[in-house]
Amino acid sequence: ETGVTQSPTHLIKTRGQQVTLRCSSQSGHNTVSWYQQALGQGPQFIFQYYREEENGRGNFPPRFSGLQFPNYSSELNVNALELDDSALYLCASSLGGTAFSGNTIYFGEGSWLTVV
């Protein structure tokens, strides 16, 4: 058990819709990262939040956005869903800062998103 919780665990959306995924960090962790894992592939970095500010972003379009709250929980929002957005979305928390300093990260159970 990592202490990182995500919701919902599974959901189905229609192409063009919007989705919000939620993550609660492990106690004391102030950094949250989101990853997308398509079927048969390794996780890909979407973005990271530290103290409510986005401090790093991967190669994902602007329709992927996020928030981090004062209690360090986080949301991932995806607008205008496409079929290729179907994937496992993983939240990871760590005790870090503006640069990843090799701190261990722990993944939550993930949210399985299917876009039809």
Partner 1 sequence: GENVEQHPSTLSVQEGDSAVIKCTYSDSASNYFPWYKQELGKRPQLIIDIRSNVGEKKDQRIAVTLNKTAKHFSLHITETQPEDSAVYFCAASIGYKLIFGSGTRLLVRP
Q: By CB under 8 A, name the binding residues for partner 1.
A: 33, 37, 40-45, 48, 55-56, 58, 88, 90, 96, 98-100, 102-110
Q: How far is the CB of 10 from partner 1 (least distance, A)?
A: 10
Closer by beta carbon to partner 1, 105 or else 115: 105
The two structure tokens encoding residue 1: 């058990």
CB of 108 to partner 1, least distance (A): 7
Strand order across the beta sheet in which 74-78 lies: 5-7, 19-24, 74-78, 64-68
3-state class (DSSP) for residue 112: strand
Between 7 and 17, whose beta carbon lies closer to partner 1?
A: 7
Query: 40-44: long-range contacts at Cβ-Cβ below 8 A with a sequence spacing of 24 or more?
Result: 43/90
Cβ nearer to partner 1, comparing 13 with 106:
106
Contacts of residue 83, defined as CB under 8 A and 6 or more positions apart, other chains included, come to 15, 115, 116
Q: Which is nearer to partner 1, 14 or 99 (CB)?
A: 99
How near is the Cβ of 103 to partner 1 at its closest, in Å? Answer: 8
Asked if residue 112 lies in contact with residue 88, where contact means CB atoms within 8 angstroms, the answer is yes
To the nearest whole angstrom, how small is the minimum distance from the Cβ of residue 83 to partner 1?
21
